[in-house]
Structure 1
Amino acid sequence: MCPSKFVVTTEQAKNMRNRIDIEGTIERMEEPRTVNLKTGGTTEVCNAYLVDEVGEIKITLWGEDIAKVKNGSKVAFKNAYTSTFKNEVSLAKGKYGELIVKD
């Protein structure tokens, strides 16, 4: 269980911006790709979907978090945030968030 008093669903998360605690299963991981950072250098980024009992939300995994999960992994995000790009909401861990892999 996520170490939060209130865990939201994927549908609730789509209407929130930050401080999101959510649990689900990783599905449909895309191949990681290399992107250039604004601060210089490069890193890997990967899109996937977090699925729960009511729906799914696109997630963005960065750097070392990509290797922590695979399709079917049960995870929890603590203090995540959402952003919208091309009318699609995406969830990310962010600088102050935490990705907890349950299996």
Structure 2
Amino acid sequence: MKISDLKPKQNNVDVEGLIKSIGEIKSFVKFGREIRVANAVLEDESGFIKLTLWNEDIKKFKEGDKIKITNGFVNEFMGEIQLTAGKFGKIEKILIEEEKQEEYF
């Protein structure tokens, strides 16, 4: 699926893209647990979308990483569409050819 095809309230979304930027990490306490969140910008050839990264996912990725989101969820917050892995989805880094070669040697 392409980013330009994403609409609010879609679930079970599979999309690939490049992380163009990651914003400031914010934290808050909910139900006695610290929650961390950061907004990133995910881009493919069709456009871009705000990607919400939660907790451990924030540390796993950096600007310039190519990622794949499986079973993601699209919502709308303050008039802006956002993509997140949510409880049931996952985000994985996609190795580009140069990285694959480095791992081989």
TM over 0.5: yes
Which residue pairs with 1:3 in the alignment? none
Which residue pairs with 1:94 in the alignment? 86
Higher share in helix: 2
Shift of 1:40: 2.4
1:33 matched to 2:26? The reply is yes
Percent identity for Structure 1 against Structure 2 = 36
Any stretches of 5+ residues in structure 2 without a counterpart?
96-105
Q: Structure 2 length normalisation: TM-score?
A: 0.85
Q: Could you give the per-residue CA deviations for residues 58-77 of structure 1, whole angstroms, max 9, x where no partner exists?
A: 01000010011100000000
Any stretches of 5+ residues in structure 1 without a counterpart?
1-7
CA RMSD of aligned residues (A): 1.2
Q: 1:14 to 1:20 in 2, by over 3 A?
A: same
Which residue pairs with 1:9 in the alignment? 2
Q: 1:85 to 1:53 in 2, by over 3 A?
A: same
Q: Number of aligned residue pairs: give it.
A: 95
Q: Structure 1 length normalisation: TM-score?
A: 0.86
Higher share in strand: 2
